[in-house]
């Protein structure tokens, strides 16, 4: 779970966390000690008392980390500029157990941008999981939704979890297959 190179952390305050892979939300108390095993996409996977937990970027201060900076986009941004930022945000969403973003894992099937009556946008996402019974599925969906709703001009993100077609390693990017040894 952790190695000598894992960064030790001390919880400065009570912190909401999600157990990996169960997906259960818990509170880790101030004074707890652990190790960061993965710090990708603005969130942290920490090993505490024999268990893995996911700490959201907004709670990074509890372990001495800074929150990610706010996203910027011109008020008159084109759909192409917004979609580019959508894909950038999707690449910051990571499975807490796998060190690859959901785009390189091939989990994002569709991105659709729509205009709302008030000039804002809605992003519709169809995505899947590497395994249908993954306990972190709803956590990943919430992560995608919250990160997309950080984008200026995006009022809402509708994230649909689908299992057709079933995910397979052939959907992964070549870099992800190479890194995981799944060529």
Separation between Cα atoms, residue 133 and residue 129, nearest integer Å: 9
What's the confidence (pLDDT) of residue 4? Answer: 65
Q: CA-CA-CA-CA torsion for 138, 141, 143, 147, nearest 10 degrees?
A: -160
**pTM summary value:** 0.81
Separation between Cα atoms, residue 26 and residue 3, nearest integer Å: 24
Q: Which helix (H) or strand (E) holds 40?
A: strand 33-40
Whether the predicted pLDDT of 96 surpasses 80: no
Q: pLDDT, tens digit, for every residue of 124-156? A: 999 999 888 887 888 899 899 999 999 999 999
């Amino acid at each position: 779970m952790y190695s000598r190179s894992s960064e030790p952390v001390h919880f400065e305050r009570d912190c909401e966390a999600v157990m990996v892979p169960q997906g259960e939300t818990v509170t880790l108390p101030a004074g707890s000690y652990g190790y960061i095993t993965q710090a990708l996409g603005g969130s942290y996977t920490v090993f505490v008392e024999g268990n893995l937990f996911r700490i959201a970027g907004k709670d990074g201060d509890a372990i001495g980390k800074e929150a990610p900076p706010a996203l910027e986009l011109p008020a008159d941004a084109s759909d192409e500029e917004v979609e580019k930022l959508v894909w950038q945000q999707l690449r910051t969403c990571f499975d807490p157990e796998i060190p690859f973003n959901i785009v390189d894992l091939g989990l994002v099937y569709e991105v659709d941008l729509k205009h709302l009556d008030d000039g804002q946008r809605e992003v519709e996402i169809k995505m899947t999981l590497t395994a249908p019974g993954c306990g972190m599925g709803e956590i990943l969906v919430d992560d995608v939704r919250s990160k997309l709703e950080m984008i200026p001009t995006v009022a809402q993100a509708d994230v649909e979890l689908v299992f057709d077609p079933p995910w397979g390693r052939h959907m992964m990017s070549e870099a992800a297959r190479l890194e995981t040894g799944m060529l």
